Amino acid sequence: MSMLSIARIDLERLFVRPFAWILAALTLAVLAWFFLLDLNAFLAAQPRLATQAGNLGYTDLVAAPHLLAFTQLSLLLAPLLTMHALAGERRTHTLPLLFAAGLSPARIVLGKFLAVLAYLGLLLALVALMPAWLAHATSPDWGQYAAALLGCALCIAALTAIGIAASAFASHPALAATAALLVALALTMLDAGARLGDIDTGWLDYLSLPAHLTPFMHGLVRSVDVIYFLLIIAVSLALASRRLAADKVRG
């Protein structure tokens, strides 16, 4: 059994469970509703925006915020989808079966990670199509939209990796979901809490997730932001692999 086999099996498990379909339906319904609200507000503001120099356009006011809304929802979606990844295997005593199949801890972790990432990636693609459908009637900034899409994809991947790490350390899926949500919220509100406490936010800005996601929303792709998300993914998956390796040694 290979890493891709683990990913395929987990993805099939997701798609045969009503939970995954209900979660996808609710997510798309909520985002479609907010998209229509944002679009209506944008159309209503057209007379005012037309008189302003350097005014914000469709991408700034509708398309990019739409992608950002899905990323914010992923703060909850990722923990819910990853909580059973390894904690569930441990709870049902099926983790030794994966070890017996000759899979290394790193391959198990990567397989679980890719399965959830594929699910969320499919949702992101569907969400991204909503603003793109109106391209014929608007003038979207495709460069900015592509940057925003890249930033959202990297952020979602980082949240998924955090969820996998939490699931690797937790003994129960509910604990894994709670831990992943708390870590994600901490990264999200880190700089805001420092500003409220009148603390120097120099190094906290680098740790803060929104500080690295916001430039993507404005069409700016910076290497420091890409590296930030890749570091979160790498560290989270490495921690999960080490935890599984310890489980394998203990038997």
With a pLDDT cut of 90, the percent of the chain lying above it is 56
Q: Per residue in 203-236, is it b (16+ CB within 10 Å) or e — as a string?
A: ebeebbbbbbbebbbebeeeeebeebbeebbeeb
Q: Which of 29-38, 122-131, 138-147 has the lowest mean pLDDT?
A: 138-147
Chain centroid offset of residue 35 CA? 19
Model confidence at 238, in pLDDT bands (50, 70, 90)?
very high
152: Cβ–Cβ under 8 A, 6 or more apart, which residues? 67, 68, 70, 71, 124, 213, 216
Both tokens of 91, joined, read 């709870």
Other beta carbons less than 10 A from residue 22's beta carbon:
10
Report pLDDT digits (tens) over 41-70: 888 887 776 666 556 788 888 999 999 999
From CA 187, how far away is CA 211, in angstroms rounded?
10
Whether pLDDT at 117 is above 70: yes
**153 in Cβ contact with 217 (< 8 Å):** no
Whether pLDDT at 135 is above 70: yes
Q: Please report the pLDDT score of residue 200 as a whole number.
A: 52
Regarding predicted confidence, which is higher, 237 or 54?
A: 237
